[in-house]
Structure 1
Amino acid sequence: MSRWNPLDQLKYQVISPLQEAWQAAKITNRYPQLAPVVKAYQALYPYAGASTSVSVNEREARGIEDDTLTYGETRWATFMELLPQLAVSPDDRFIDLGCGTGFLCFMMHAIYGIPATGVDLIQGFIENAEQVRQQLNWSQPRFQQGDFFELSFLPFSLIYATCTCFPDDVMAQLADKLAETEPGTRILTVTDLPEGDHLRLIRRIPAKFSWGPDHVYLSERI
């Protein structure tokens, strides 16, 4: 017997698939070079909620009970609309902290030709993203399984972090970690970073996410 109520069934069986088809068409119409990436991702994650299942199943299998890993995906179309705010240059290097499926890294590399790195604790996401990269025979992006706090942020000039479930102490830790980046580094987060001597908020931007309307915060290392 299904545990879903009729509204859940409508969302996951009708509305979500239509939304995903719409955003895939929107992405490939604007950036045709992403068509093979979209096709590969649709094969890996063929139904609404497939990516969430990867995260939930692995966390259960590994006994991980960490609310900071609660999965919420940035819609491809949402990220696409944010790109003009980043003023990307050919010399930039992009990293997605907690990259999930890694699609945003493929976007940055395919659209701008810059190196991109995705980091996530969920091994299944990393393996799937690497599978796509190898299938496409691309040298970029690169993906790494692990805790991004253990990485150096210094090589990167564009940083993205969803971080909606990070408690205040983890957000403070992230803000401190960003001090090691070069001045001029742009940081896009879905939770406002704590104020500090080395960070400046440039603007607050409305955006739509899988969990509903929200904002992203564009900050700069000063």
Structure 2
Amino acid sequence: MATVMPHLPHPRAARIDIAPLARPDHADYLALLGLTTSTGSLPPETDEVLTMDPMGPLATHGPALCLTARQRRSTNPKPVGALFASSPDWAHQHPLVRHDPGLSYLLSRTALLIYGIAVTPHRRRQGIARALLTATEHRAATAGYRLTTLIHNPDLTDFYQRLGYTTAHQITIAMPDAGMGLTQPPPYLTAVKALHPDVQIRHLPGAPGPVVSGLLPGWDLPAGARFEDGRLIA
């Protein structure tokens, strides 16, 4: 998410209804997401995804979660906010999981990447992005997901931290025998938030940034875990 939120007086918080994307709103939904996306671009198959039946307990369209936000009792039927989330690219493409389909599948059902979240410009700073995120986190936790993550512009660091996210240029996912590094090119940052009590986000000696442990059962770290020469020593 790279939405610019200017430092203006806070308007009154809007009363918002969050719901899965409905077919009549496809064009408005894509137009909203075109304003900003967390990773710079949505997956290229997004248009096709919007035509698919849900493929998982969290999904609303194909493998993705697509939500819209509307102002309650508004005379304008168009959505004022949109969110698109799916499994993270790294759950399929990272070298540590690329040749392990079983592990890739588990990660894709454990971590959720919010690819894009957008609010129409004249409705920003009214709690709409917060409502979309809160609804997404609740849905993900209920479906058994343990972590939400997104990529954002540094201008939004305070916003995400207030919502309980940990942000850094590099986040490491602790695995039983390795650390999976998630690094963004400047100026972008990765933000992560635990959705399950077993997931911890820790700062370890020598680590280049925060470390996520407990993402899958058995992926906990002992108290003395550390990094040496870029390697996780557990």
Query: Which is strand-richer, 1 or 2?
Result: 2
The structure whose Rg is larger is 2
Q: TM-score, normalised by structure 2?
A: 0.30
